Amino acid sequence: MEQPADRRPSGSAGLGHRLARWLLVVLAVLVPAALFGVTTARAEASLGPHLARYEVTTDHLVTVDLGPLGTLVIDSPLPLTLGARVVVQEIPRDVTAVEQADTLAALGTDLESYVQFFSGPQAALDVAVRALVTDAVRRTVLAALAVAIGAGLVRVLLGRARREELEARLAPHRRDTVLATGIVLVLAATVTSSDRAEPRLPDGALASRVFDDTPLEGARLTGRLAGVIDTYGGYVVEAYLDNETFYDQARSNLQVAWEARAAADAELGALRAAIRDGSPLPAPSPPPPATGEQDEVDGPTPAPTSSPSPTQGAEDGDDDAVPRQEAGAQGTGAAEGDQAVEASDGPEVEPVTLLVVSDLHCNVGMARVIREAAELGEVDVILNAGDTTVNGTAVESYCITAFAGAVPPGVTMVVSDGNHDSVETSAQERRAGMTVLDGKVVEVAGLRILGDSDPNATRIGIGTSPVGDESAGQMGRRLAEAACADPDGVDLLLVHTPSVGSYPLGTGCVPAQVSGHAHRRIGPVSMGEGVRYVSSSTAGAAHGQPTVGPLNGIAEMTILRFDPQSRRFLDYRLIRVHPDAAVDVGLALRWPGTSDPWLRRGIR
């Protein structure tokens, strides 16, 4: 007898049909939901110095809408025919009512931020892309749920009898349905993935030669913006190109200086070994080629010429600068009696290597130099002593992303946010994978670190004011209590403002402190029962001058080594980048209070 048309096959054939049917259902739900989610995604993120709204489009163009100033259009790097529309939200509506000179003067105040954006455009775009992907996924899930719920309601309303009747009628056409669905999906994928040779441009769009050799090369401009950019945009581009050349040269000079210092350290080690064993002394090698100022071992290292005087406060004018009594340690290469130590002469347990940076102030050009120093030094942890941003705003997220890119794989950046940072900055840093201190002890690479965000907030045009009810002294006492109460102890206090650590160092519960804020190096110097080290600015911050572009002052980083066995710091090594891109890498100098094995052997 012939099988009825509506009879369902059994066994493996029936299972295959059921799987095919469920696959069709899943595709029928997910494909339109994904298309809806992707094509309607939108998010807010930064674009240079502005907040902007990003929206996904399907015209394969990236269009930056600057309102009455016009638009900037570039070909989209996104797959398929996806593009984006970026609406800058901070361009005044009445900008066309003022003279061009006034407009340029107003925009000129954002020159630094534009150059920073040019220096690290990928960081800003990464933030926007992540926000768009998150929103697209959210919209896809919501759309899929809506479709699924709607289908479920239809199923319930139809009832079982009606559903079986419809399934019986559709059963003879199941193969045709599957084939038609597949063809539709293939056609949709083909159409959306086809690049158009000539994307449709807005009327009046012109390609600007100003952006040649920059990330915006090939951009087309419309409206008043075209004249502004063509006339004055060269200033920004020239500044961008100077910035790129400078920091690429600084990174190259760091490599040369590091190799020269490694050779000098090896020669010093051989000399010490010969003295120890009574062997003939090796012939001295010619001095290494210097890319900057020479190190001074027996005398103090000159302070940067751009540093404020000892009686001056921090560059931003805060009233809680480093106390006057510490000024005597300013710029010293080491505490009194310190000697250079051989980098290879350490404890049996491999030391933990740390790189100290501070007061970056959104100078994203230094990110590549920091990355190079971290890789050359094979560091385990990067200590960021705060003031990563200029004003702690949401638009500075691209700065956080750029500095996060300076962290090599497997390395953790630990941050104590400064007075120029904010709660928003802390959230951005956590999203970027950094460890942000919040008053609790964290253990990273065997080092137990305590710290917290600065008690004050400094905002451009407003000044400095307390974040909450806690003063610097009160914060210091709170951190001291946390350090003394911790059963496993604290190895390092990382706080932005040095004075916060005065009380904790006096308790004996904190053996070492690292800070920034002063924009000048102080120490390491013994204080209370511990040692304080204040890092100079890694952005080369100089009084009254911007941190954008090639350096105006000397930028400094410090490599510390920590012995996890004795839980003491061993030595520190200074890296200095000069305003002419020259770099010098200093000797490893003994950390105050650490015994030198060569001194124990009577060798001076």
pLDDT at position 327, please? 33
pLDDT at position 129, please? 73
Over residues 337-357, the pLDDT tens digits come to 344 554 445 446 789 999 999
Whether 313 and 319 have beta carbons less than 8 Å apart is answered as yes
CATH topology of domain 348-600: Purple Acid Phosphatase; chain A, domain 2 (3.60.21)
Pick the more confident residue, 95 or 411. Answer: 411
Over residues 56-103, the pLDDT tens digits come to 887 777 777 766 666 777 777 677 677 777 777 655 444 333 344 444
Whether 557 and 575 have beta carbons less than 8 Å apart is answered as yes
Q: What is the pTM of this model?
A: 0.65
Question: Is the bond into 282 cis (omega within 30 degrees of 0)?
Answer: no
Pick the more confident residue, 556 or 192. Answer: 556
**389-398, 451-460, 479-488, 580-589 — which is least confidently predicted?**
389-398
pLDDT at position 367, please? 94
Average pLDDT of span 183-190? 56
**157-171, 457-471, 501-515 — which is least confidently predicted?**
157-171
**167-176, 205-214, 533-542 — which is least confidently predicted?**
205-214
Whether 467 and 456 have beta carbons less than 8 Å apart is answered as yes
Query: Would strands 442-444 and 447-451 be described as parallel, antiparallel, or unpaired?
Result: antiparallel
Average pLDDT of span 114-132? 64
**139-143, 374-378, 398-402, 546-550 — which is least confidently predicted?**
546-550
Nearest of 450, 456, 410 to residue 433 by alpha carbon: 410
Q: Is the pLDDT of residue 236 over 80?
A: no
pLDDT band at residue 270 under the 50/70/90 scheme = confident
**Domain residue limits, the chain:** 11-223, 348-600
Average pLDDT of span 169-182? 65
pLDDT band at residue 518 under the 50/70/90 scheme = very high
Average pLDDT of span 320-339? 37
Pick the more confident residue, 247 or 109. Answer: 247
**122-136, 266-280, 387-401, 512-526 — which is least confidently predicted?**
122-136
Nearest of 332, 335, 560, 572 to residue 449 by alpha carbon: 560
Q: Is the pLDDT of residue 597 over 50?
A: no
Pick the more confident residue, 35 or 371. Answer: 371
pLDDT band at residue 313 under the 50/70/90 scheme = very low
pLDDT at position 187, please? 58
Average pLDDT, the chain: 75
Q: For residue 479, what are its two tokens?
A: 């951190």
* All residues at 6 or more sequence positions from 249 whose CB lies less than 8 Å from its CB, including other chains: 581
